[in-house]
Amino acid sequence: MSEKLGANSTISRYRITCKIGSGGMGEVYLAHDMRLNRRVALKVLPAEVVNNRNRLQRFEQEAQAASALNHPNIITIHEIAVEGDTHFIATEFIEGETLRRRLQTSRVSLDETLNITIQIAAALDAAHRSGIVHRDIKPENIMVREDGLVKVLDFGLAKSTENKPADVDTEAATRAQVTTQAGMILGTAAYMSPEQARGKTVDARSDIWSSGVVLYEMLTGHLPFLGETVSDTIAAILKSEPPVLDEHIPGELQRIVRKTLQKHADERYQTVKDLQIDLKNLKNDLEFALALERTARTSTNAQTKTGVEATRNTAHRVSSFEYASGEIKKHKVGLAVGLAILLLSGIGFRYWFNSGRHSPIESIAVMPFVNENGNADTDYLSDGMTELLISSLSQIPQLNVKASSTVFRYKGKNLDPRQVGTELRVQAVLTGRVVQHGDQLTLGLELVDATTENVIWTEQYNRKQADLVLLQSDIARDVAKKLKAKLSGVDESRVTRRYTDNAEAYEFYLKGRFFGGGKITEEELKKSIHYYQQAIEKDPNYALAYVGMARSYLTLGHVWGFLPPRETFPNGKAALMKALEIDETLGDAHTALADYYFSYEWNWLEAEQEFKRALALNPNDASAHGGYGGYFQAMERFDEAIAERKRCRELDPLSPTATANVGYPYYFAHQYDEAIGYYRKALDLDPAYSWSYLWIGQAQLGKGMYNEAISDINKAISLSEGNVRMKATLGYAYAAAGNRAEAQKIIRELKEQSKQKYVSPYFVAVIYSGLGDKDQAFAWLEQAYQERHPYLTLLKVEPVFDNLRSDPRFAELLRKVGLPL
């Protein structure tokens, strides 16, 4: 058909002027619409491939996807039609050039780069709001008109987020465009997101990655990820970090680029609208700084010391802007800058720059509020208010909030904000002091810039204790505002939401959190359940109290081995269902429900869905990342497990558990040295952390270091005051070392102990496995199965059962637990 489409040939009512392009999905012609007397572009699918169902389906998919959109930054579709055996789309004709051509012929200025990227984001926002993901954002698919208007083209790879992708054909070797069957990839290699490159399901965040690649290329003139072959390029996307941007590029823009190119989608911008807002704010800030600099040149008045500092700061920002725009000018900025700013704004520039900072704070540590009364019986109040504020601020999408288990390691210590900022890698530190006088409560807050130690904001709240619920909401809103957080209406409602208006219920809830979140013992957990129940009695619709009670129930029956799982997990689920009935948007409830499905029901599909739901609601939930890592390691997806556990550690960097847990996927992958490395890092945080000694011992057993393993496991037992799990591991260690007498002695001790308190049959099975007594091992594992012990989730990967795997009974047990053979 392409031979027939020479100059003056016609298709329907269109007369061909000339061919203007071609690609894998067809040829593009400039044509004249004879009915409406206008120029159009015709994209034609050659006749020889019309009968190829896959390619035709992609052609029609492009047309349908693009025609559903109506936006000034998206190419307009006039008509989709067939004439004879020729399928074509008629679109507006855009006078201009592709961004690829622009990049090949000239350096794109910073101002133009921001304008183009903002318009790309606007187009994608319209597409995403219509449920369409482009999946092939690249300079070739971006047209820039002569008047600067940007048009996004070629929705040939677009898909509705509500539909499954269609199968399509394989393109040229230089472009990684291949079928979208399970495990395959679709898109142009250099601009593909990691999840797209892996052949996984993609969403709007994949387009955000591709936009980030285009932005990086405009700023630098080269791609952030590139190899000699498609495979090399994909490997770079998955494993490498992009080269650092030039120091002359404004720091805020460098941050934006980094955020778009986070390899984990949850760590990127979650919506392209957020990216667009940050780009617009940056553009406005740079234009404002440039205007100030220009204004200041006309002033000849003397400056104060503060003005001198302002001059330097402004000059740096302006020179960065003009350098990247190709407008470098060698000039000296007079001392008049400071006075100009004073005249224009009525405030000192230093205050404006530090306290009234334009860019939002992206990371914060909320330090444990100090209980000024010194009465340990009221620690539940100061600690609880701290934890709830952390939980509230974690709802802010673009804010990294350090987990409570990390910040509470600073409790009772003298705080140096700069040191805390360095240790936790946060920009700001929030401290608070709580004083009680009868029914009167005074809370003083101070927000400090961790780099400069300048005080950004202080506030004192004086309320009656009966107003404690409202106070908590006010604090969350005020702190979010001072952080310059950009909150949607939904986000703000989550941050400031009051889950109860009953002050008594709120206090009982704080007590429940206090006893349920400290040292994990059976007594403390039962006490927490008691307080949660009292909170619910005061307010039956207190969803958070149900979640807290559920967590305590799950922990009682979990791997610590306090009570049989069948006695506690169903109670936990009932509480979670009630919580979600009241409020389906509670991220903590979804995290706990994911744990329930994973650890007790072994409902793998529901577990993963709940983990995803929890992280969508709160990407800062360290426990959700840690739990999701546990799911991945059970599935033998160790790379993903390590990534989730590392994310958990990033959010909770001073938690020895979060650090040690990174080692667990390595242990299950039989990479024992790597595992031991993380276990020892946990001991650096807490030399008395018993679980690290236990896990070091387990890894040493895998390496055949029996004496060292027994020594470290004994340390764990001593530090934990005789934990059953650790005692069983010692029995296994003796068995593996050939000391059958000591192993059998521990079995007898555990059986005797079970007459007084619960001892999971799983732990007895572990020792029998070490002894090679398969009949006894399977008998006790069957009992553990009947109790639905959470450790059975690890059957597929647990090295202590390696000697049982060849037995048909092991395959049957895996089948019953629902794990793949």
Q: Which of 136, 278, 539, 595 is catalytic?
A: 136
Instruction: Classify the C-alpha dihedral 548-552-553-557 as positive or negative.
Output: positive
CA torsion angle 213 219 224 226 (round to 10): 100
Residue that has been written with the tokens 């558990």 in this structure: 657
Nearest alpha-carbon partner for 451 in 429, 431, 478: 429
Q: Both tokens of residue 389?
A: 């504020």
CA torsion 704→708→709→711, rounded to 10°?
A: 160
**Is 136 designated active site?**
yes
| Residue 35 CB-density burial (10 A; 0-12 exposed, 13-18 middle, 19+ buried) | exposed
Are 664 and 638 spatial neighbours (Cβ–Cβ below 8 Å)? no
Residue 799 makes CB contacts below 8 A (sequence gap 6+) with 667, 668, 670, 698, 701, 702
- From first CA to last CA, the distance across the chain in angstroms is 53
Torsion of CA 177, 180, 185, 186, to 10 degrees: 40
Radius of gyration (C-alpha) of the chain in whole angstroms = 31
Residue 22 has which token pair? 């071609």
Structure tokens of 643? 């990534």
- Give the contacts of 53 (CB within 8 A, at least 6 positions apart): none
**What are phi and psi for residue 449, nearest 5 degrees?**
-70, 120
Distance of CA 694 to the CA centre of its chain: 30
Q: How many CA atoms lie within 13 A of 533 on its CB side?
A: 10
Mind spelling out the 3-state secondary structure of 275-340?
HHHHHHHHHHHHHHHHHHHHHHHCCCCCCCHHHHHHHHHHHHHHHHHHHHCCCCCCCCCCCHHHHH
Closest CA to 59 of 68, 69, 74, 46: 46
Helix (H, G, I), strand (E, B) or coil at 134: coil
CA–CA distance from 679 to each of 437, 706, 724 (Å)?
45, 18, 20
Residues designated as active site: 136
